[in-house]
Structure 1
């Protein structure tokens, strides 16, 4: 399961619980329950409500729960709440808790050196000065339209969606000349910020790096993704950071990985000492990102995945010697040897999803199939909950703030496809 809590427009906390389970020939992801609780709910109260829903209403047994994913916030994992701890106890510690990959990556992105953070704060001040006044927004739009630039609007900054800063900074950099003219006309002291070449160069770098972090964040989103895909994205990005550091430390530093920054350097005359200062700032930032990534995604946590890499591609192990190195029990080794030798199953593997493939062969290879399913089944993010909260904001508006959202959320988030023909053939008025 995955669970997360948010507050709706009526200041009422709502907890969404999504579930992934094996059904017929694939994994099914669906909303398990939407709990509307009062504002003074405790961790014990939340656990009790979850117990009523999962055990009481749906008659599910906690011992069958193999994974719990949350965003790691104190309302779930804090020493006073301990909701996750109680859930793990209910499963008799058969389940593993996972801190949402998306949330972890967002926390990593906040690791910024002080000088770059000052650039970020000033950019946000400029955006807020313009967007905070409807008149200022309209005047800037008119100015940009007259000049004929591609974009005429700035984007708002929101602390909740930290990675939205990638697009915000890109837009500020793109419209920097127009914004500078506008601020001069408004006689704002913020105009002097754009007169600092080092600040503008750092802004170009920040727009690039936040854009890259945002791309990684998007790769970690989505439905029906397995943990091996996420592992590839995370490890690949960690290696990319090391490569970029090596490029900058070379005798001839290269900025090809930051296209906006590279274009800015090529189009403007930047003092050599200033460029060295900026390079050191970038190196400091990339090093901090690498260290923070290693802290939030420690290699030892993924050791079990590396030991079970055969789950990702069982046909990569064709020889007895390669199979022995996997430390499987003899029965599992025998199954893997026969599986990897099957041309028919290899064709299935190429056309089916990883989960569907292992479920399909569960009768012929029960040991490997069960082990693979238990590894692939748990959630690694709380994406479905975040998706649910987005829908909740559309359902529960200011004029519908008394709405009991649970039934509507059930319909909006259900993965079941209605049988429209049967519904249309039903008699609308039974009394007739």
Structure 2
């Protein structure tokens, strides 16, 4: 910048450099959070746990910042060692962390509203029956008293367990299906938008709403594979003249 005649006085301002260091550190934490929320195989309860953990981290970082503990902010620690203690604005940064925590609480308020529903999916065997909706209570008690279902839950995990809930518990099955159908990450949302853009073009004017629904259903199913043998068996054999 100096070789091009640009003003570089801010790059010599110690307070400004401290702010840049803080911005780099907090952005690094946010990037790590973003990566945790992406990819296939994520369900909404996983997202809920990750966001809750990050909100708890923010509260810890705010407290540590006020105590001038930079354990989780390495760039801030480096700058703090280079400048006087009175220059490094720990109080200002702690306030920023508090604001960020409040922003997360506001933006993810819907998660808190669905907390009891998520608990029924993530671990139905520890869910509080009395706080559960009345139409689920009887089935939930039967579920929690079944050692067989508990052993199956421990072996397959929360994401796969709803498949093994018996038909005698229709309300629990429906509740689990509704929760699992929530988009666990923006990955799946972006995938659907991309497929919509690819398939809904002027070159595919014979594409009906039913076709599009089937395409999106297959693409959004994260573990669905076609049964080729069954599909072939249902096809009508076309005999050629030589075969006859």
- In structure 2, the residue matched to 1:265 is 80
Any conservation in 2 of the 1:308–1:326 contact (CA below 8 Å)?
Answer: no
- 1:391–1:260 distance in 2 versus 1, CA, 3 Å: farther
**How far off its partner does 1:240 sit?**
1.8
Structure 2 CA distance for aligned equivalents of residues 405 and 222 of structure 1: 30
How many angstroms apart in 2 are the aligned matches of 1:405 and 1:213? 41
Residues 45, 121 of structure 2: 8 Å contact kept? no
Query: Which of 9, 13, 17 does residue 192 from structure 1 map onto?
Result: 9
Q: Is the 8 A contact 2:61 2:72 kept in 1?
A: yes
- 1:287 aligns to 2:93 (yes or no): no
TM (norm. structure 1) is: 0.43
CA deviation digits over 1:343-365, x for unaligned, max 9? Answer: 32222212324343113214132
Compared with structure 1, are the counterparts of its residues 187 and 355 closer, same or farther at alpha carbon in structure 2 (3 Å cutoff)?
closer
Cα pair 2:162 2:176 within 8 Å, conserved: yes
Runs of at least 5 residues in structure 1 that lack an aligned partner in the other structure: 1-182, 396-401, 424-429
RMSD over aligned Cα, in angstroms? 3.7
Aligned to 1:311: 121
Over 3 Å counting, the alpha-carbon distance change for 1:420 and 1:338 in structure 2 is closer
Q: Secondary structure at the match of 2:46?
A: helix
**Number of aligned residue pairs:** 221
Instruction: Give the structure with the higher percent strand.
Output: 1
CA distance in 2 between counterparts of 1:405 and 1:294 reads 44
Runs of 5+ unmatched residues, structure 2: 233-239
Aligned-residue offset at 1:380 = 5.0
Relative to structure 1, the CA distance from residue 316 to residue 239 in structure 2 (aligned partners, 3 Å threshold; closer, same or farther) is: same
Counterpart of 2:173 (choices 369, 383, 388) is 369
Q: Determine which of 136, 155, 159 is the counterpart of 1:351.
A: 155
Q: 1:431–1:204: structure 2 CA closer, same or farther, 3 Å change rule?
A: farther
Q: Counterparts of 2:175 and 2:192 in 1: how far apart (Å)?
A: 30
Alpha carbons 1:392, 1:405 under 8 Å: kept: no
